Amino acid sequence: MKEAFPHALKTILHHEGGWADHPKDPGGATMKGVTLNTYSKFIGRDATKDELKAISDEQLEQIYRSLYWNRAACDQLPTGVDLVVFDMAVNSGPGRAVKLLQEIVGSTPDGGIGPQTLAAVAKQNPLSLIKQYSEARRVFYKSLGAYITFGKGWLRRVDEVEAEAIKMQGSKA
């Protein structure tokens, strides 16, 4: 839902924190969830770590909306489902987030949300879909090599985002 983006972004930023440059993080240097590579593409040139550390709130919002929220068509997803898909898009890429959704709803997992995927989503109970999607995320994260280093944090994030999505779905009723 379109009006859900500000709340979803606030939830994501809570989990993304501030500056990180962990040597085992495949994303590398990151500020509030935006990698140096993503920021460089956004500004159209190689950025420095200091520039990334100084990213503005406006730039953050533009990056999150255009590269994650819009690419995963979150405006067109049910309340709560939009949040779990958005969070996965941020954490693992929009293509992977959409494919996971498509696998769950029985649509062709091509990474792009179109009329067929949206129709399949519409046939689902949103609360059930939130729970199925969150469980699929847990399984995915446990399959990754970096799970040994980041797994507890990833699973805590999935649990907290799932709880918030369920709360959002409940408040809609």
User: Model confidence over 74-95: pLDDT tens digits?
Assistant: 999 999 999 999 999 998 999 9
Q: What Rg do the C-alpha atoms of the chain give, in angstroms? A: 16
pLDDT over 90, % of the chain: 82
pTM: 0.92
SS3 state of residue 47:
coil
pLDDT digits (tens, 9 = 90+) for 138-168: 999 999 988 998 889 899 999 999 999 999 9
Rounded to 10 degrees, the C-alpha dihedral 17/30/156/101 comes to 120
- Reported as a pLDDT band with limits 50, 70 and 90, residue 28 is confident
CA distance 57 to 65: 12
First to last CA, the chain: 15
The pLDDT assigned to 53 comes to: 96
Q: Which residue has the higher pLDDT, 64 or 149?
A: 64
- Concatenate the DSSP letters of all residues of 3-29 into one string: GGHHHHHHHHHHHH-SEE--TT-TT-S
Question: Is the model's pLDDT at 22 over the cut of 70?
Answer: yes
pLDDT digits (tens, 9 = 90+) for 30-57: 999 899 999 999 999 999 999 999 999 9
Question: What's residue 159's pLDDT?
Answer: 97
173/167 Cα distance (integer angstroms): 10
Contacts of residue 128, Cβ cutoff 8 Å, sequence gap at least 6: none
Residues 6+ apart with CB under 8 A from 48: none
Complete domains list, the chain, with CATH = 2-172 (1.20.141.10)
Structure tokens at 19: 């500056």
Look over the chain and give the mean of its residue pLDDT values, rounded to a whole number.
93
pLDDT for res 1: 55
